[in-house]
Amino acid sequence: MQAIQQLLRQGALGQTRLQTSAANCQHPKCSSCLYGKARLWITPSETTTPVKQKEGALKREDLLPGQRVSIDHFICSSKGRLYSSQGKSPDEQM
């Protein structure tokens, strides 16, 4: 970079306003130098304390196993591939 800037200062590559400003600019840093100087930024966090009145609200009145069951489910209308199809199965078998 220093050699290129020296050529630009001497006018060996022509003389334009862009070349004049490039002859005197700071050298760009390589990515490994920037990575080595990087610092860890700690994200701000906050602590919470449980409210005694609301503690255990989800399992209140359901004390025995099997009294209540909850299931998360979703419906997907797009057809998927089978493990054995290798991408060549017709749409009816998907």
Q: What would the pLDDT profile of 41-94 be if each residue is shown by its tens digit?
A: 787 888 888 888 888 777 677 667 777 777 777 777 777 777 777 777 777 777
From the number of C-beta atoms within 10 Å of its C-beta (0-12, 13-18, 19+), residue 8 rates as buried
In contact, 62 and 54? CB cutoff 8 Å: no
Q: Report how far apart, in Å, the C-alpha atoms of 28 and of each of 2, 6, 31, 34, 91 are.
A: 11, 16, 9, 10, 55
- pLDDT over 80 at 36, yes or no: yes
Distance of alpha carbon 80 from alpha carbon 93, whole angstroms: 10
